[in-house]
Amino acid sequence: MLRISPIELAVMAVRRAMAEGATEAEAFVTYSRGYSVSIFAGKIRDVEYDDDIGVGVRVAVGKKVGFAYATGAEPGVAAEAARRAVRLARSAAPDRDWPGLPEPSPSYPDVGGIYEASLARVTPEALLDEAKSLIGFVEGYREEGVLLSRARIGASVVERAIANSNGVYQVDAGTYASVMVSTTISREGVTTPAVFVFDSSRVTMPSVERVAERAIELSRLATRRAEQPSPGRYTVVYAPQALAELLEETVLFSLRGDMAVRGRSYFRNKIGQQVLSEKITIVDDGALKGGDASWRFDGEGVATRRTVLVEEGILRSFVYDTYWGRRAGYESTGNAVRAGYASRPSVGFTNVILGEGDAAPEELLEGRVIVVYQVQGAHTASPETGEYSVLANPAILYENGEPRGWVPGLVVSGNMYQELREKVEAVGKWLEKPYPGIQLPWIRLGGVTVAPRA
Amino acid sequence: MALENVRDLLEQVVGYASARGVELAEFRVERRKATRIELIDGSMVANAAVDYGVAVRVYVNGSFGFAYTTRLSREKVIDVFNRALALARGASAGLPKPLILDPLEGEYTHPVKVSVEDVSEEQKISDIVGFDKLLAKAPHVKSRTVVYTDIVEDKFYASTEDRYIHERRELAYMYASVYGQEAGVRGSAHIVLGTAKGYALWYKYDPEKEAERLSMRLRNQLEAATPKAGVFPVILAPEALGVFVHEAFGHLAEADLVVAGSVLRGKKGQKVASELVTIVDDPYIDDGFGTFRFDDEGVKTAKAVIVDRGVHRQVMTDRLHAQMLGEKPTGNARAESFRHPPLVRMRNTYMEPRDASLEEMLEGIKFGYYVVSTGGGQTNIDGSFQVGVEEAYEIVNGEIGRPVRNLAIAGNTLETLLNIDMVGKDFELHYGRCGKGQLVYVSDGGPHVRVRRMTVGGRA
């Protein structure tokens, strides 16, 4: 138990910062506790307990801004963070664009499905039981050569509290559970690439068996090899996991309001214009019921909300926090994101949904196509130009809906902005969640450049 | 809690743990004080952190239990110890007993030129603003991000083996990225500078030269041609080779990934690379981000010779995997912070130089690519890798030609290492952070090398 509640700690830090000479101050406290089990090579490697509390203090002295955080839950911790933040702000150069900290929002959403008492009280024994069933489940496939190379099962509860000198005073609590499973199949001296499958929920433990089944199904596709294609352009179908990674580095980067203001966004000055295929709609929703990243308020105490970013290919909005919103001439969209007390708020996404299309699996896989399930090196894509050149692994060749085998070492390259505007042939009619906070369908693209293995 | 009182706390909690019948209990008290100055197109935010907490790991009954707290009192540490103990008892994981070591007292402070704590924030701000202004001078630079970070790291380790260790080091680094646009062409480039010698970045690097280098990288991006997709000879410069050695190869030699089935599994004593290739992970190299005396399991660090003249000799281990594989302890257990249990991680990983010059390597290449710097890379335990390239040039008839953009090199790591036919006599070390679920500071590098054939992704 804490002697001082998170919101009390936040208020102490704000008061202390003002007493030290700040003209504005904000304190953000997160208190998280949870258990997780990690599995390596089919064995439980670590069972972990977290107990993490600290306070992050953002202050302004006039237009000079400083941020500091300290760990712990004692009044001295709040005081130390406040004192260092003010001292740093005094040394900093003034930011003439500093708009001040946000005011309280007129109302805050009632976000449902983000806290479940039974999940908050989950015992390590229960998590260990899940881990043991997972290990047992995968061992059932040992004859096939399936290995549980890695897995992680976790459950946590987080309290968030924020206070600022403009009267923001908010608390929220949420629970979260997740399962990640990675498998390979080793048979006759050949190892398939490690595949990663994920699921999560705010209110219940996802089924470990279901996640493992999906990983094994994917691994099986790579046990047979297809012939290397010659270099050229092919129809490529991106599965949600590969697409999410490439989108994050390109389209999502360009939907950030800070990047639009800084001129780095590919979509700058294009509000109201067709920037992607009319088959594509993208929404950010920080108040999504049960969303992985849903909270009542964002990292600076602004109410979360739903924002349509791209509607049938037309650019409608960027995401903003208070600072970059003001610089662009807009309100914050409630997208000041922070991982916890240790990070300063910055423009980011909450729950991203790329809406489903109307294509059934047989339409996505029609003819001869290369399906890219995962990619390596998405982080080396260029956000400014959209150019990417990544290893597709596994890439599976399909002919008329039938998997023909794994194509090892295939490099796919192109330009995400152009491809998602001009080359979208079909969008799958269901959504998947390959990573926390992003839901999206399968997308079929024509004419993607492919280089075979050396 | 003041650092002077940590030893007392550790003795008390080790005493408590020793009386609880554990096979091994380890306590890591870690404090990192960090300063970070960010300039976004000249607008500044200054950040400071005191990240202070304690991690407890218990081994009992074939299992590890781990717990941490940011609340540093004797009662709270004992509370999280008891939780870790209960977790380990409940797990029955069937792991072998990790290596158990002798009692030891260790104390090491890495020498610095000037401690970052003795330099005022005003001075740090003024230096970084000066660098940012140099970048702003170039007309093709339209947007800039410059981030300076320094960290003073105090790590205490104590275990029920009566090992008590304290190590202190300072890291400083600067990340700078620029974005530009000219005649409808867009591009970006970045550099990372680092040092483990305190406030020494501006002794070590000439700001004007570095700003010029970054500006040139961006100019190349704006003028670059799109490469052909296909299979070509490639020369890797030290910075790119470092990323390849670390990402494409090093991870495969981490003992936990070897156990999980990496392509190096069972290859000890076998030829896995050209005989020109020697790759080591070296915790002693001067001014490396991975230079330290004791790892996060309190193990004395030792050099790991992963490949010696083409033959795979050693894997990088932690206490558990040293035992599982019957390998020597190398001191490669590292955790991002007290929030994490250690994993097998790299330190300073590099290829040793040989005797070729860049000119000799270029000779005889009719058409290929010269890869200088990268945006990072990623490997899979099946031995496939991708490295995304930032600065690269065509090689035409033995000469370095026009710059190219949006290039990636990819392939099978071991095949690539076998295809190295020349290794240079130069050497550079580069700085960065590596992610394996947790981020740790590493260095990597080597000389120039030539690879006979490699897959290059570009335009068909």
Average pLDDT (B105-114) is: 97
Dihedral (Cα; A409, A410, A415, A416), 10-degree rounding: -90
Nearest CA in chain A to B41: A262
Q: Tell whether A358 is within 8 A of chain B (Cβ).
A: no
Residue A75 in domain: yes
Q: Tell whether A60 is within 8 A of chain B (Cβ).
A: no
The type of residue at B252 is: L
ipTM of predicted assembly, 2 dp: 0.90
**Statement to judge: residues A192 and A236 lie in one domain:** no
Q: Give pLDDT, residue B457.
A: 80
Question: Residue A92: which of B49, B125, B374 has the nearest Cβ?
Answer: B125
**Statement to judge: residues A366 and A426 lie in one domain:** yes
Residue A391 in domain: yes
Domain ranges of chain B: 3-223, 230-457
Question: Residue A389: which of B51, B259, B458 has the nearest Cβ?
Answer: B458
CB-based contact A411 B143, cutoff 8 Å = no
Model pLDDT for residues A339-354, shown as the tens digit of each residue: 899 999 999 999 999 9
Average pLDDT (B384-409) is: 92
Q: Give pLDDT, residue B47.
A: 93
Model pLDDT for residues A388-430, shown as the tens digit of each residue: 999 999 999 999 999 999 999 899 999 999 999 999 999 999 9
Å between A454 CA and nearest CA of chain B: 5
Domain end marker among A177, A200, A219: A219
Q: Tell whether A1 is within 8 A of chain B (Cβ).
A: no
**Statement to judge: residues A243 and A170 lie in one domain:** no
B435: pLDDT strictly greater than 90: no
**Statement to judge: residues A212 and A231 lie in one domain:** no
The overall average pLDDT reported for chain B is 94
Residues of B in contact with A387 (CB under 8 A): 405-406
Other Cβ atoms within 10 Å of A2 Cβ, number: 12
**d(Cα A212, Cα B181) in Å, to the nearest integer?**
46
Å between A172 CA and nearest CA of chain B: 21
CB-based contact A88 B261, cutoff 8 Å = no
pLDDT band for A2, please (50, 70, 90 cuts): confident
CB-based contact B229 A412, cutoff 8 Å = no
Nearest to B219 by CA among B175, B181, B191: B181
Q: Give pLDDT, residue A189.
A: 76
Model pLDDT for residues A14-61, shown as the tens digit of each residue: 999 999 999 999 999 999 999 999 999 899 999 999 999 999 999 999
Long-range contacts from B364-367, C-beta under 8 angstroms, 24+ separation: B364/B398, B365/B233, B365/B235, B365/B395, B365/B397, B365/B398, B365/B450, B366/B396, B366/B397, B366/B398, B367/B232, B367/B394, B367/B395, B367/B396, B367/B397
Residues of B in contact with A44 (CB under 8 A): 63, 91, 93, 95
**Statement to judge: residues A414 and A424 lie in one domain:** yes
CATH of the domain at A107: 3.30.2290.10
Nearest CA in chain B to A376: B378
**Statement to judge: residues A152 and A175 lie in one domain:** yes
What is the domain extent for residue A127?
6-219
Q: Is the peptide bond before A394 cis (omega within 30 degrees of 0)?
A: yes
CB-based contact B460 A264, cutoff 8 Å = no
**Statement to judge: residues A92 and A225 lie in one domain:** no
B459: pLDDT strictly greater than 80: no
**Statement to judge: residues A72 and A134 lie in one domain:** yes
Average pLDDT (A358-363) is: 97
Model pLDDT for residues B282-306, shown as the tens digit of each residue: 999 999 999 999 999 999 999 999 9
Nearest CA in chain A to B33: A70
**Statement to judge: residues A153 and A199 lie in one domain:** yes
Domain end marker among A219, A238, A268: A219
Å between A344 CA and nearest CA of chain B: 8
The contacts of residue A125 (CB under 8 Å, 6+ apart) are: B90
**Statement to judge: residues A215 and A227 lie in one domain:** no
- The SS3 assignment for A333 reads coil
Residues of A in contact with B40 (CB under 8 A): 258, 262
> Secondary structure of chain A: what % helix, strand, coil (to 5)?
25, 40, 40
Nearest to B287 by CA among B375, B374, B203: B203
Residue A344 in domain: no
* Domains in chain A, number: 2
**Statement to judge: residues A118 and A35 lie in one domain:** yes
Nearest to A69 by CA among A300, A168, A80: A80
A210: pLDDT strictly greater than 60: yes
Q: Give pLDDT, residue B460.
A: 43
Integer CA distances (angstroms), A321 to A27, A99, A171, A236, B139, in order: 16, 11, 19, 36, 29
**Statement to judge: residues A241 and A196 lie in one domain:** no
Model pLDDT for residues A122-163, shown as the tens digit of each residue: 999 999 999 999 999 999 999 999 999 999 999 999 999 999
CB-based contact A85 B230, cutoff 8 Å = no
CB-based contact B68 A97, cutoff 8 Å = no
pTM: 0.93
Q: Tell whether B65 is within 8 A of chain A (Cβ).
A: yes
Q: What kind of architecture, by CATH, is found in domain B3-223?
A: 2-Layer Sandwich (3.30)
Token pair of B431, please? 């700085």
A 326-355 residues with CB below 8 A of B? 342, 344
Instruction: Quote the radius of gyration of chain A (alpha carbons, Å).
Output: 24
Model pLDDT for residues B148-182, shown as the tens digit of each residue: 999 999 999 999 999 999 999 999 999 999 999 88
At which residue do the structure tokens 């010779």 appear?
Answer: B305
Residues of B in contact with A380 (CB under 8 A): 374-377, 386-389, 408
Å between A343 CA and nearest CA of chain B: 9
